[in-house]
Amino acid sequence: MSRYKMIVNPISGRGAGESVIPDLENQLREHSLDFDLVRTERPWHAVELTQGAVSDGYDIIVAVGGDGTANEVLNGLMLAKEDGAGTGVLGLIGVGRGNDLAFGMGVPSGLEKGLEILFQGDRRTVDVGIVKGGTFPQGRFFGNGVGIGFDTVVGFEAMKMKRIHGFLNYFLAALKTIFLYYQAPLVKIEYNNKTIEQLSLMVSIMNGRRMGGGFWMAPEAKIDDGLFDLCIADQVSKLGILALIPRFMQGTQASHSAVNTGRTNKIVVTAIEGVLPAHADGETICTEGKRLTVELLAGEIDVICQA
């Protein structure tokens, strides 16, 4: 019988993580699962808990929270694998704000849907990305995507809005960011044996399809095809950014003249003038980075998801 380690972030979703625990435990017992539940207490704690769980022989490590919790559990699984401690299967129950990583892995938001998929137990082998640079020169793993530039600042602003939840939170943050961050840095982008130098408002490097709970950065992306989907936006005016936002909400931005797309398994972005604010799965990589290397690792972990 599989052993489950449930890693719950109690402050995810403005406290939703804590509030779902009684129902979560009841349903796990009703389905006779062999489980242990633990709450996270600080940043990076879920990484440590996951590594310990793998070493202790737990088969399935379930992140109960938002993108940050899921990203930390993913990092814990990858680090445990690197260290030779063993391998574990990733489970996801999205009760955070955006839940984009879970969505990209094929797990809809909410306790009910997450448990339904967990109990079904269908698995899929997926790709994992790693970004090196900023405050993670050794690298940080991610499942959904890396954002460089505008969308990262949107995330910073969204975190400041404590009373607004969900997609509206990111949408309002995007509007606010237009007036804070619209001067794109001059960057060098290297991938697929070519080099581009340009003013880039945003560089999105996607394994999944969505960020911010409703911005379709890469609507055609697949999490198991061995390639990132790229979305690179040139410098545009404030009005130009406003015009782009609805396109990203619909996933039609590729037809805009200021947007370039591509596919690759490795990309290097360097700031020639200015700096690179960047995130991975919504977690800050740097606020003023100069060089980031992002690489895809094909077929790295198994995830419990929709068949």
State pLDDT tens for residues 244-280: 989 999 999 999 999 999 999 999 999 999 999 999 9
Same CATH topology for 3-121 and 133-299: the answer is no
Residue in the structure block whose two tokens are 């790693």:
130
Secondary structure of residue 194 in the 3-state scheme: strand
The pLDDT value given to residue 291: 98
Give every CB contact of residue 174 below 8 A, 6+ residues apart in sequence: 154, 212, 215, 245
Q: Does domain 133-299 have CATH number 3.30.720.210?
A: no
Query: Low-confidence residues of the chain, pLDDT below 70?
Result: 162, 165
Distance of CA 155 to the CA centre of its chain: 12
Q: Are strands 136-142 and 123-133 parallel, antiparallel or unpaired?
A: antiparallel
Identify which of 282, 236, 304 has the alpha carbon closest to the alpha carbon of residue 131: 282
Kindly give the residue spans of alpha helices, DSSP state H, lying in the chain: 12-19, 21-30, 45-55, 67-82, 100-104, 111-120, 150-160, 166-178, 238-250
Question: Burial of 73 by CB count in 10 Å (0-12 exposed, 13-18 middle, 19+ buried)?
Answer: buried
Residue in the structure block whose two tokens are 């009373």:
163
User: Would you say 168 and 214 are in contact if contact means Cβ atoms under 8 Å apart?
Assistant: no
Strand partners, 206: 145, 229
Residue spans per domain, the chain: 3-121, 133-299
The pLDDT value given to residue 169: 79
Report d(CA 8, CA 182) in Å as an integer: 37
The pTM for the full model equals 0.94
CA angle 209, 75, 219 (to 5 degrees): 5
| Continuous segment of H or E residues that includes residue 263 | strand 259-264
The CATH class given to the 3-121 domain equals alpha beta
Rounded to a whole number of angstroms, the CA Rg of the chain reads 19
Strand partners, 257: none
Tell me which DSSP letter residue 110 carries.
Answer: S
